[in-house]
Amino acid sequence: MNVVFDFGGVLFRWHPASFLARVWPHRVVDAESGTAVAAEFFQNYTGDWGAFDQGLIDAATVTDRVATRTGWPHAEVAHVVRAVPDELQLLPGTVALIQELKQAGHRLFYLSNMPEPYANHLERHYPLNEWFESGLFSGRVKQSKPSAEIYRLAIERFGVAPASCLFLDDHWANIEAARAAGWQALLFSDADAMRPQLQALGLLL
């Protein structure tokens, strides 16, 4: 089996509401306000942030656009944009899962919505080439999930059949898009919950 990992919320910590609570405590005082502020800032990865994810604009431009759209001070928005790499902390449980899948003989790939500056950061700080044979970052191919085109590009890059891929992602829209593209896909919450599902499929003992 070819197992394809998402990154944010799967291999690396990414929970926008709690992230903003840490970097903007003066604006985010509880979970409810954090969810609302995250929705306004990241626009569910459409709009300004979606363009950044797809590599269509750079960090300076997304900062300008978010500040103009929301009225939040430019310096505060820039602080959030700069803070994202530090938020992307490795999730040890998923690393263990990767090692188990590799030992079981499966091929591993990644498909991540990630602006190029953050992709560069991850490549500098983590052994992605040891864990994965290949992968796609949205910021480098100018496409993002759940667009059908990025799944087609991934298959082309990986050189595998869609039906041979099992995609692990934490967003239903991306799971549904993968399945529509002919992939198998499972919704990821955490490594402990994923392991028995992989065992049920016969991918792990």
* Element housing 107 (H / E): strand 107-112
What's the pLDDT tens digit per position in 118-130? 999 999 999 999 9
Domain positions in the chain are: 2-13+89-200, 16-87
Q: Is the pLDDT of residue 31 over 90?
A: no
Phi-psi region of 182 (alpha: psi -120 to 50; beta: other; left: phi over 0): left
Report in angstroms the alpha-carbon separations of 197 from 3, 38, 97, 127, 191.
Answer: 13, 30, 12, 26, 10
CATH of domain 2-13+89-200: 3.40.50.1000
Mean of the per-residue pLDDT values of the chain: 97
Task: Give the pLDDT of residue 125.
Answer: 97
What's the pLDDT tens digit per position in 67-104? 999 999 999 999 999 999 999 999 999 999 999 999 99
pLDDT over 90 percentage in the chain: 97
